[in-house]
Amino acid sequence: MNKIILSFFFLSIFLSTSIAQLPFKLNLCNAADSLTKQVVIYDPSYYSIDYPNGDVPLGRGVCSDVVIRAYRLVGIDLQKEIHEDMKSHFKLYPQKWGLSKPDSNIDHRRVPNLMKYFTRFGITKPISLDSNDYQPGDIVCWDLGGGITHIGIVSDKKSSDKKRYLIVHNIGSGQVYEDCLFRFRIIGHYEYVRHE
């Protein structure tokens, strides 16, 4: 009897946590949707930007900027969150760019740094070929080959065959919806609701 009560207790905690996160993830999907209505030119240039809440010029951006802007619209400044974590744990982050200290202008715009941050403070979810594993509000990262990484947000809109959720991303054609979940090799799958 105690095992049944204990199981019910843990199930209720799990369900209440999932339900509590649902509005946030739907809000993130809505934020990503709003970005698809903006005209953005793919621009990987380095920019000196404000800190915190800095952004590259309006109408410019790359894949990571889609994620950064969507989270900012739901009240999370990934520029600040990543910079603060990198100040204290710089050596935990990829050392690929020859830097000796954090740079709040660019660190959060690098997919490997976003992956490390989501691994540290989010939920790392399974990488699979089962489209049901990828739910609205999830973050997915891909390896495009040649050392190029990519990132996008799983939307709440389905593909034309209803088998997959569309991705909101920018791979060169602006901030758009695309049926591209399995187009490239997936290297990261995360849920990041809020870091307290």
Instruction: Find the length of the chain.
Output: 196
Confidence band, pLDDT 50/70/90 cuts, at residue 194: confident
Q: Quote the CA–CA distance of 188 and 164 in Å, as a whole number.
A: 17
The half-sphere exposure of 22 on its side-chain side, counting CA atoms within 13 A, is 7
Buried b (16+ CB within 10 A) or exposed e, 51-74: eeebbbeeeebbbbbbbbbbbbeb
Q: What is the DSSP letter of 154?
A: E
Confidence band, pLDDT 50/70/90 cuts, at residue 20: very low
Structure token digits, residue 149: 């990484």
Structure token digits, residue 134: 């990828």
Task: Give the residue from 33, 36, 28 showing the smallest Cα distance to 137.
Answer: 28
Token pair 């990519």 in the structure block, residue: 150
Write down the number of H helices and E strands in the chain. 4, 8
Residue range 25-40: mean pLDDT, rounded: 98
Is residue 83's pLDDT more than 60?
yes
Top CATH class of 2-191 equals alpha beta
- pTM, entire model: 0.88
Is residue 80's pLDDT more than 50?
yes
Q: Which residues contact 106 (CB under 8 A, 6 or more apart)?
A: 46
Question: What ranges do the domains of the chain cover?
Answer: 2-191
